[in-house]
Structures are given as C-alpha cells and as structure tokens.
Amino acid sequence: MENQGMPLLGDKFPKLEVVTTRGKKVLPDDMAGKWFVLFSHPADFTPVCTTEFVAFQNLYKDFKAVNCELIGMSVDQVFSHIKWEEWIKDNLDVDIEFPIIADTGAVANRLGLVHPGKGTNTVRAVFIVDDKGTIRIIFYYPQELGRNMQEILRAVKGMQYSDKKRLRYAS
C-alpha cells in the first residue's frame, strides 16, 4: 500500500513533473530502467552544498557504472542553478553533468523536504530509487551537516547486490 503523505521506504516514487537545468523531466518515468539518487540541498552558492555537488560530480562515473543517475534539487530557480554551475566551473574547474531540479516548493513539500523552522530551505535528503521506481533508502540530514557521497554509492551498490542475490530480511 502506498503512503499518501510523505513517501516511505517501499513506496513507489511519486510521479513529479519537474523543471531542471537539463530541461523538463517526469520522475520516475524518465529514469525507467535505471536507479537514481535524488538529493536535496538547502541553497545554491553555500559552502557545504558546493562541496557536496563537487563530491557527487567526482563520483558521477561510479554511479553511472552501476546504472544509477544523480539528480539534485533545491528551492532555487533554474537561473540560480545555472549560475552556480558556472561558478563551480570557473572557480573549482568542475563541470556539473547531472540535472538540478528548480523547485517552487511543490516538490519539496510533496517529498517532505522542507526543514521545520527554517523557512523554505530543504533538508539534506537523499532518496535512492531502484530501476522499478521504488524508494529503497531515504537519508535525512540537517542543513548544518554535509553528506558522505561514498556512503551513498555504497548504499546503492549494497541494495543492488541484495537484489541480485535476492537477499530479503524478515523483521
């Protein structure tokens, strides 16, 4: 049974039409047959968010090697995301190759990403979604703490290994 509020583990990822730095997308449909990691960040041009995006980009080939795409998001507009990508390229010599969702708040609210008591900023959330569109892992971090991208890659690989070996654990 699918949860009608914030999505939970085992739910199908909700169908969302989004605007990104790489055009319009429909999730999870446009990722059909691939795993994907949707990760939110509080705001463009902030130090922790910038280091996280660079770290994700540095591992992008490793994610793609296991049939997994990356997609970022925050409650910022496409123009801001593009300028931030340009700043990262100009100052850190890193090209961000994955799309970033520009959200007006609808996506963040649907996914339960608005940080309580901190305006419209989103938490640092990670949704790992399998190739069938099912949410397999959800990580939530406060705005103040950055994430470990190696751990996120390890989690994707671990879930894929579990599926391949058909490992299921009873509660």
Residues annotated as catalytic are 49
CB atoms within 10 A of CB 35: 22
Distance CA(128)–CA(136), nearest Å, equals 6
By CB neighbour count within 10 A (0-12 exposed, 13-18 middle, 19+ buried), where does 8 fall?
exposed
- Alpha carbon distance, N-terminus to C-terminus of the chain: 18
Answer whether 147's CB lies under 8 Å from 126's CB.
yes
Q: Which two tokens stand for residue 101?
A: 């969702």
